[in-house]
Structure 1
């Protein structure tokens, strides 16, 4: 563990979705004592709307760890329960609950957040999706000392990764989750021992990653194809870009931008101009969008060549 003669720190781990699992697994594998794992309460999911445990709860129980699931942390009972664990540090990754100052002050060494961006760019709830949507050439993860503001605390360490033209949010999510776990193991002991001080974030370059809403997934055919491609990638795997196709809904999982024929008169945005095994080409406000992987309502996501065998699509039809 690299801690020398120092007693290993008692850790409270707080996280909820898949993104938070690799760091928890890494801490367990490295032998750190986990006093308790905090995660959000089980939520209804699936067609039956039955309560489903979070990914972090499932992982914690597999390792025999104690699990706490308070609805909130801003009350005396929740704070007393957390303090009872006598944590040296609280590690937080996509927990989803606000930690008031009274909670941040409970661990002896404070709280450390694994955040999926290169702060101060993309503070907030959806840094992975917003980085892709904006066309950023790179992103990364930060270890940050948590403060009262929204992702405003000093940064302990950062690690970057390029965003390729093919990366979607699901792929980038998984890469950053493992990058964050690696960075945590590399830096935690040095930070606890004072060998790696945290540095305040600069005042310039601050951007905010607003939470993604399902309404954002509707394709605006007036927008340029390049912009729409980034949104298709950003909204894969949720909420998935979509459009209206006649009376049905069509989800778009993968697409590429093509230059329009400058010599030809452009039809109205949303018009299907070509259909083939390589894709369905749709006119946008600037250039063509080639749909490569789509999903009809009630069906599964399919490459266009397979989709077309059961779903006739014709040149001249309009998507909305």
Structure 2
């Protein structure tokens, strides 16, 4: 009887945990889990384990946390695990060519877009910001370029008009795990997934999110601002000045301006559970906000706190 496929898994955030779970349940032998070193987190800035580390320790798997994979001693240690395959999901460290060549079957990556659209760090949020109606996940054979390797299989899904970055993140994490299960099943049966080279047409890059992007510019269109509110939930969260107060905005939608004409950023209407703010094109109807130092609240509660704005 042939031995199980020896797999090294590399991942760090929540997005990677369903894929790790898929590996652990698939029948392969997960010989080690690589994840980024513990980082300071929370108000106390105490060192905290990554979600992948926590899941690996709970499963009794060896955890490796090198600062870099470029060190020769780290690569030697990786070779010592004798992996047939390395699975990489949102790991956060660059894999040099010397690492890509270690596993017998190479390295697979679970990426949260339909490549070549949205290569890079933040494909989920960039798809929402761009107004894409569809996205998905790709299981890719890794090579030296940034998400440029051939695609082994992909799964597509629609983006709902009101879907947030967090909601889409969770759905794609599960779709990615499903694609990985399918790929591992083929590998364990000795089957080869046919690689499909990525097109040179339609390449876009999903640059890392910056907190500064979350500050809303009222001169942009309501549709653009509504997409930002959705994409930046749960991080970094859209924020804007409304009636002299800086607020984080958690829930909003674009509506037609109708007869309302006002300077962008002016509140033009108050509803029982929402307010309308003028933009460069249309109105942004806001339903949930957060004051500095507070918790998210319904707009009606904010209006009650700002007595002068209720009428």
The Cα shift of 1:243 comes to 1.1
Residues 27-176 of structure 1 mapped to structure 2, 5 A cutoff = 27-176=23-172
Relative to the length of structure 1, the TM-score reads 0.93
Deviations along 1:176-199, one digit per CA (max 9) or x if unpaired, are 000000111112232462432111
The answer (yes or no) to whether the contact 2:115–2:138 under 8 Å persists in 1 is: yes
Structure 2 equivalent of residue 200 of structure 1: 197
Partners in 1 of 2:55 and 2:288 — Cα distance?
32
Structure 2 equivalent of residue 271 of structure 1: 266
The answer (yes or no) to whether the contact 2:83–2:102 under 8 Å persists in 1 is: yes
4+ long deviations beyond 6 Å = none
Structure 1 equivalent of residue 9 of structure 2: 13
| Counterpart check, 1:230 vs 2:219 | no
| Counterpart check, 1:221 vs 2:189 | no
Residues 178-197 of structure 1 mapped to structure 2, 5 A cutoff = 178-191=174-187, 193-197=190-194
Q: What are the ranges of 5 or more consecutive residues in structure 1 without an aligned counterpart? A: none
Deviations along 1:201-239, one digit per CA (max 9) or x if unpaired, are 111111110110000000010000001111111111100
Structure 2 equivalent of residue 254 of structure 1: 251
Deviations along 1:235-260, one digit per CA (max 9) or x if unpaired, are 11100000134664200011001100
Q: What are the ranges of 5 or more consecutive residues in structure 2 without an aligned counterpart? A: none
Partners in 2 of 1:107 and 1:312 — Cα distance?
65
C-alpha RMSD of the superposition: 1.6
Matching residue within 280, 286, 292 for 1:297: 292
Aligned residues: 310
Partners in 1 of 2:92 and 2:203 — Cα distance?
21
Give SS of 1:185's match. helix
The Cα shift of 1:315 comes to 7.9
The answer (yes or no) to whether the contact 1:248–1:297 under 8 Å persists in 2 is: no
The answer (yes or no) to whether the contact 1:127–1:209 under 8 Å persists in 2 is: yes
Matching residue within 271, 275, 291 for 1:280: 275
